[in-house]
Chain A
Amino acid sequence: MTAPKPETGRSKILGNIRKSFDNSDKARTERLATVDARIRAQRPNVIPARASGDAKALLDLFITQAEQASATTARVDGPDDLPRAVLAYLTANALPLRLKAAPHATLTNVAWSEQPSLDMTFGATTGTDEAALSMAFSGVAETGTLVLHSGPESPTTLNFLPDHHLVVLRTSVLAGTYEAAWSALRNAGNGAMPRTVNWVTGPSRSGDIDQTLLMGAHGPRSLHILILDDKKTV
């Protein structure tokens, strides 16, 4: 079987684009220099003033916005308080007391055995788990958006396959704007991107039938954010 020849398409497309530009070597080099400088600058555009308050204002804004997007939130005093908070959610929603959790150090170090009724396993999901627990990399107060990214401590399948997605957001990583969250991500990965970054604002929904908004289209039917105040201990 002969493979298609992508090179043919490449030179044809770039050649046709260049028909509308100055196609001299000098001009092309200049365009590349312009582009490289622009990329390196990582210059923010207009940033809405909405999320410019202090830490408390940002947290209040995050909660308001997340709830506006139909997420639910609860406060957690520290990692040791997670088993109680998780159990409260599962019980309130009449769910089996089982949870697939991300193997993130903060979560694996919790003394889950103190709640013997809770069946905890760690790792990715293949679609058999009703509820999952993840750690957010960051949160964006501007729109109540969670930022999660793939990695050994954060399987992406947990964000989309289970019916109920529980996410721990530490107050220390809450950002006002997306730009601040990008800076944090660039610093964390030395500029390298993880395979995937997910911005999640509320649970899954669809308006495709009769223009009627229905929750739980393909992803989680509910999104529950556990806000862990870790600034107290700093």
Chain B
Amino acid sequence: MQVTSKSFVANAKKGLADANLQSSLARLSTGFPIARLAAIDRMPEFEQLRDDAVAIKDHTLANLDAYLERYEEKVIESGGHVHWAADGAQARDIVLQICRDAGARTVTKGKSMITEEAGINEHLEANGIEPIETDLGEYIIQLRNEPPSHIIAPAIHLSKEQVAETFVTEHTDFPAERDLSDPRTLLEEARAILRRKFIAADVGITGANMLIAETGTSVIVTNEGNGDLTQTLPKTHIVVASIEKVLPTLEDATTILRVLARSATGQEMAVYNTFSTGPRRPDDLDGPENYHVVILDNGRSDMLGGEFNDMLRCIKCSACINHCPVYKAVGGHAYGWCYSGPMGAVLVPGLQGLAEAHDLPQASSFCGRCEDVCPVRIPLPRMLRAWRTKSYEAGLGSKTSRAGLGVWAYFARRPALYRPLMRVGVAVLAALGSLRGRGRFSVLPLAGGWTASRDLPVPEGKTFVEQWKRGKR
């Protein structure tokens, strides 16, 4: 997919002005986060499970080469094939070659951000093979030719009316005047169409939530069952997974699964957790005859061992996204790639380079909710700050903001100037605020960039340093 992270500011403005998006985002606050809290309340060991999840991922990352080698051996032992792709281009070529060897005309796909990342669909299409997304959300956005706006709910930016319009335009075999006002009808229509596609497909491509070194197993987690139909029915199953997905044992995968669904949708467990090991056995009654795994790096090994190493613990649950005030204001498309919210703002610069994505880490209020809810305790705010530092050092960002930062830094390094100026500034703002009689400014001279899309809280009259001195801590 095309990366538009460079246009984050323009993308975000578009998102703020999109009424459909804004009403979807408003609903997000009352959905996943509340279900997550309820699920955690029912699991008293949740914090210990998080600690274990962190330890599993850290241990695996610290021995990643050995785990990948052991995993590969086990896949081959069970009759599967392992392919290594250093970047998206290699992954595209490998997948295309497997599809050609299988004589594929159509390919079904389970939802997989990594195949979005590698641009698999575009490449297959360009080479005469039809890729069909089967996750309901992915299917909808494929019809609309849009990228996903959320890693687990890719069509979250759309209203049911927009989906109905798309189905009327695209499903031309159905009567044009049919009533599609009920989401149930939309689902039934997609189910009927995709049923035929599942059965006709020559190859099924899925991602993997985990790879298990002990057994050479790939794991997918879904609620719809589309991933399973994708990997069960065609003759060939291709798994595309990034290097950091590998884990030691079935027990370790189990611990991750205990925190994954609870953090994501607030379910106790997703409906389908499927552990696949190699192709069908001689006496099996169904299942694919060929099983391939494409292990993709695409920049991740560069993050290993450095200050962004912990980002590789990410299990793609979306909890940080669901709790992010910035994501909930601008939506996922603003981030310009398949990863959004705090995890996207750290990962995208890591994988695409800072020159491409330096605006993303700027979009944070540092409220810290992302780190609070992350099941593998990724220090997202610290890493966002680290990217900001690197951006400044690399001379990236607009001249105005750099100049502003420069002015601020001049005073901040000179407390004798900074403190009296802050005292006056805060007192003036507080006085203005009390004149207006409400706790927020909706318009403020020189701060239109801030107040255009949100209010500025009125300061309480004293600076932080003054309050600290009075023992208010």
Contact = CB atoms under 8 A, between A and B. Distances in A.
Nearest to B216: A193
B191 to A, nearest CB: 6
Interface in A94-115: 103
Given A17-B301, A199-B273, A209 B187 contact: yes
A194 B194 CA distance: 28
Contacts of B184: 214
Give the bracket for the number of chain A residues in contact with chain B: 35 or more
A203 B84 contact: no
Contacts of A197: 274-275
Contacts of B100: 1
Nearest to B156: A211
A103 B223 CA distance: 27
Interface string B46-84: 001101100010010001111111100000001000111
Contacts of B69: 14, 32
B93 A195 contact: no
B136 interface: yes
Contacts of A208: 135-137, 140, 153-155, 224
A13 B246 CA distance: 14
B85 interface: yes
Contacts of A46: 45, 48-49, 51-52, 255
Contacts of B137: 206, 208
A103 to B, nearest CB: 8
Interface string A201-233: 111111111111010111110000000000000
B165 interface: no
Contacts of A38: 59, 248-249
Contact of A31 (B56, B66, B159, B306): B66
A35 B82 CA distance: 20
B107 to A, nearest CB: 16
B272 interface: yes
Contacts of B279: 195
A159 B224 CA distance: 12
Interface stretch (B23-31, B329-337, B342-350, B416-424): B23-31
Contacts of A34: 63, 66
Contacts of A161: 229
Nearest to B306: A20
Given A16-B302, A31-B65, A35-B63, A201 B270 contact: yes
A28 interface: yes
Contacts of A179: 251, 254
B285 interface: yes
A206 B163 CA distance: 14
B272 A199 contact: yes
A209 B229 contact: no
Given A4-B90, A201-B269, A209-B136, A219 B285 contact: no
Interface stretch (A75-83, A85-93, A147-155, A166-174): A147-155
A12 B272 contact: no
Contacts of B134: 218
A190 interface: no
A41 B156 CA distance: 42
Given A196-B274, A206-B136, A21 B153 contact: no
Interface string B417-450: 0000000000000000000000000000000000
A200 B271 contact: yes
Contact of A204 (B43, B250, B271, B295): B271
Given A39-B213, A42-B250, A209-B187, A28 B285 contact: no
Contacts of B159: 210
Task: List 3 A-B pairs, minimum CB-CB distance, nearest first.
Answer: A219-B225, A20-B305, A9-B84
Given A6-B85, A214-B183, 9 more contacts: A4-B94, A20-B306, A32-B70, A41-B249, A69-B268, A196-B277, A206-B137, A209-B163, A210-B159
11 contacts: A8-B90, A14-B65, A20-B305, A42-B214, A44-B251, A150-B280, A206-B223, A207-B223, A209-B136, A212-B160, A219-B229
Interface of A: 1, 3-4, 6-10, 12-14, 16-21, 28, 31-32, 34-36, 38-39, 41-46, 48-50, 65, 68-69, 103, 123-124, 126-127, 143-145, 150-152, 154-157, 159-161, 178-179, 182, 193-212, 214, 216-220
Interface of B: 24, 27-28, 31, 43-45, 48-49, 51-52, 56, 59, 63-70, 78, 82-86, 90, 93-94, 97, 100, 134-137, 140, 153-156, 159-160, 163, 183-184, 186-187, 191, 194-195, 198-199, 213-217, 223-226, 228-229, 232-233, 243, 248-252, 254-255, 257-258, 265, 267-281, 283-287, 295, 297, 301-302, 304-306
